[in-house]
A = this chain, B = another copy of it.
């Protein structure tokens, strides 16, 4: 952001770092694949097969099931999950060789709140 910043500038100018972070989160959700993942994770036990280890309600679903549902390669799914993790929208729990993912409802609520003021 190289624009000049006057004293009377608006909220969007006030905190460039926070604006960039907001942009990152918006980019993370601006993808049908990732919106699907977020949707599925609302109800892991309905949307994914039974898991041997790990309570789906507690820890979420593992990468493997998301790969199957998305219909893309394992690395592609892995990267979509990383984008969501980096944006803070989901949380990863490694456990017994698998990694479980669940929604970060607090972060999601923050995004919703901020989008409400655009």
Contacts and interface: CB of A to CB of B under 8 A. Distances in A.
Interface residues of A, number: 34
Interface in A1-37: 1-4, 10-13, 16, 19-20, 22-23, 26-27, 29-32, 35-36
A29 B12 CA distance: 13
Interface of A: 1-4, 10-13, 16, 19-20, 22-23, 26-27, 29-32, 35-36, 38-40, 47, 69-71, 108, 111-112, 115-116, 118
Contacts of A1: 32
- Per DSSP, chain A at the interface is helix
Contact of A27 (B30, B111, B115): B30
